[in-house]
A and B are shown apart, each in its own frame.
Chain A
Amino acid sequence: MCLAIPARIITKNGNLAQVDFGEAVLREVNVSLVEAKVGDYVLVHAGYALQVLDEQEALETLRIWNEILQTEA
């Protein structure tokens, strides 16, 4: 199962957080594997947050792609 879905941390209490997957329904997720704060987006897999999603890196990815598409032959 590689399926991991981004969710935004709405509240956090120790190892557990209430997150929003975009449906405005809050679900409980275990965040003991990540250093995340309220407002962060995390990748969630089977009820556990695996990594904090870096918005800067996401925007950087899009910027790099555009650069590749403009400049290379």
Chain B
Amino acid sequence: MIEKLKFRDAKLASRVAEKIRRVAQNERTIKICHVCGTHEYTITHFGIRTLLPSNIEVIAGPGCPVCIVPASEVDEAVEFARRGIVVTCFGDVLRVPGSELSLLDAKAQGADVRIVYSLTDAIKMAQTEKNKEFVFFAVGFETTSPSTAVEVASKPPKNISFLVSHRLIPPAMKLLAEMEDLTLDGFIAPGHVSTIIGLKPYEVFPETYRIPTVVAGFEPLDILMSVYMILKQQKRRAPKLENEYIRGVHPEGNTRAQELLNRVFDVVDSNWRGLGTIPTSRFTLKNEHSSYDANLKYGVKIERGTDIQQGCKCHLVVVGKIKPTECPLFKGACTPENPVGACMVSNEGTCRIWARTTTSPQTPPTPPT
């Protein structure tokens, strides 16, 4: 697409960076938080932080849906695999640590664990291999949840069921907004979650918490523009909700997807790895779809697991309290090839993104002089 090039145009980026520098001049330190692994990828990959003045800090919140899956749910998936059920999942879910084993470990021990690129592939497998039982480990935020809802609503074959791990982002943002030791001056809201949920779920942040909030796209210019918009709001002392990603996000979101989500799921409190219990933060299948609920079908429910391994600081990384480079294990004991914590496992994990981009363990992306 032709405009993709403009959304990455270096000259345009310099001009926006200059605007940011001018509006940020003489301001105190301003801390802006995003909640999306793909935003962190764009920011790190394109060196966005190197374009920002030193008093503007962009931190990564819990925007990695794989990173915050509690160990107990991985343990449930491993248990299904151990029982001879075919467990299907997206790629990076395979290596997320459970209390003892990951699904990859289970696979190495002989379990039938298969990576799929789309839920459609798992459904097709269940249709073809009628003598086997399948479970799909449904991980992801509101961007991914509608695809699970589509398939459950279409009454898939009886030999497939779902381990539903889908979570909601606005409750996690609320947790961050209420943290006493974290003062946020702005939210960059996740663009693709917003294509589904629209703008309304974020209204509470400027209205009640007085935090400027901008829904951003995923090109480097989208992020820079969103930072600029937040700073303008800060300067005017007038926090509001703005949509930078107008080409992808309608104010009402995707109403068809929302209707499906409401039809298929209830919302319950849930544990997030590293964050503890967050109210009304996870989807669960409604009663009328309970025959597709893997926990109920096989009578497997594990309440607690070991979420954070010894020495691991993922619980601090996922709320942006420390940078990956501030974790003693980063790129030493914990590497992309040998991850200790979930943040180093997932492609959307802050630690993995930094590990793949920075050149040495203690050097963060170089700030401008």
Contacts and interface: CB of A to CB of B under 8 A. Distances in A.
Contact of B192 (A2, A28, A30, A72): A2
Contacts of A68: 19, 225, 228
Given A30-B147, A53-B248, A54-B247, 13 more contacts: A2-B218, A30-B120, A33-B254, A45-B143, A47-B117, A50-B192, A51-B196, A51-B248, A51-B249, A55-B247, A58-B1, A62-B7, A69-B12
Interface in A11-61: 22, 28, 30, 32-35, 41, 43, 45-48, 50-51, 53-55, 57-61
B155 interface: no
A13 to B, nearest CB: 14
A1 B90 contact: yes
Nearest to B196: A50
A3 B260 CA distance: 21
Interface residues of A, number: 34
Interface of A: 1-4, 6, 22, 28, 30, 32-35, 41, 43, 45-48, 50-51, 53-55, 57-62, 65, 68-69, 72-73
B254 A4 contact: no
Contacts of A2: 36-39, 63, 141, 143, 190-193, 218, 348
28 contacts: A1-B37, A1-B38, A1-B66, A2-B36, A2-B37, A2-B141, A2-B191, A2-B218, A3-B38, A4-B192, A4-B195, A32-B150, A32-B256, A34-B256, A43-B192, A48-B147, A50-B196, A51-B248, A51-B249, A51-B254, A54-B248, A57-B246, A59-B3, A60-B247, A62-B3, A62-B7, A68-B19, A69-B15
Interface residues of B, number: 53
B16 A48 contact: no
